[in-house]
Amino acid sequence: MMGVDRLPPITGEKLIPAEAYGVKLMSIGFLVKPNQPLIWRGPMLHSAIRQFLTDVEWGELDYLIVDLPPGTGDAALSLAQSLPLSGGVIVTLPQQVSLEDARRGLEMFRQLDVPIFGVVENMSYLELPDGSRMDIFGAGGGEKLAREAGVPFIGAIPMDPAVREGGDQGRPVVIANPDSPVARALAEIARNIAARISVAAVQQSNFIPINIVG
């Protein structure tokens, strides 16, 4: 999705993350054979997460963003137990089944004392050629979840084939077509989250800029 499929050569004791568009990247996909399934129990997953945090030469970072699977599970629990997290961002689709997973994830982070920066609604709507909108997955689900949970609604991301095309080509839509509505929505959400992290930095004496997206 970012146009890289392997890590740079190892020059020391730690892994060197891949880099594209000024973003450093690490994925388990870099370390296994193509199409190899990962059938891991909790301890193995916990060990892998710790290795990604401690055995990678990250250098100086503005933010460390960890993309997590939906709902609750070992990955989120292991991460929360491994580091003091600045906060979490809950990403959902408008449809009910996605909202239920997102709500469980939100409440799990609350139980682990991880602050919630807010809710993002992905695939919010499809804009048709005549200018009208089609709510393929429903409407207002993300805002409703945020309101019921008492957290901010950060923003909505429209559906756009250019997002898929950019991912397949390894050129994200914010690079390939930065003036498109979906790219502008993504940029605005990023600015919103960055502003909330800045506020958290002032409020937390032991601030570590780590943001969860899951």
Other C-beta atoms closer than 10 Å to the C-beta of 83 total 16
Return the domain boundaries, the chain: 1-61, 63-213
Q: What are phi and psi of 195, to 5 degrees?
A: -65, -40
Residue of higher predicted confidence among 196 and 36 = 196
Cα separation of the two ends of the chain: 17
Q: Structure pTM?
A: 0.86
Residue 210 forms beta bridges with which residues? Answer: 64
For residue 85, the model assigns a pLDDT of 86
* Per-residue buried b or exposed e for 176-185, using 16+ beta carbons within 10 Å of the residue's own CB: ebeebebbeb
Apex 51 CA angle, 77 and 197, nearest 5: 60
> Average of pLDDT values for 147-161?
96
Least Cα distance to 208 among 76, 120, 80 occurs for: 80
Structure-token match 């502008």, residue found:
184
- Is residue 94 within 8 A of residue 52, CB to CB? The reply is no
- Dmax over Cα atoms in the chain, in whole Å? 57
Superfamily of domain 63-213: P-loop containing nucleotide triphosphate hydrolases (3.40.50.300)
Q: What is the pLDDT of residues 32-87, one digit of tens each?
A: 887 777 776 667 777 888 888 889 999 999 999 998 877 667 778 888 888 888 89
- Is residue 128 within 8 A of residue 160, CB to CB? The reply is no
Q: How far apart are CA 33 and CA 28, in angstroms?
A: 10
For residue 47, the model assigns a pLDDT of 82
Residue 181 φ/ψ region, left for φ over 0, alpha for ψ in the -120 to 50 degree band, beta for the rest: alpha
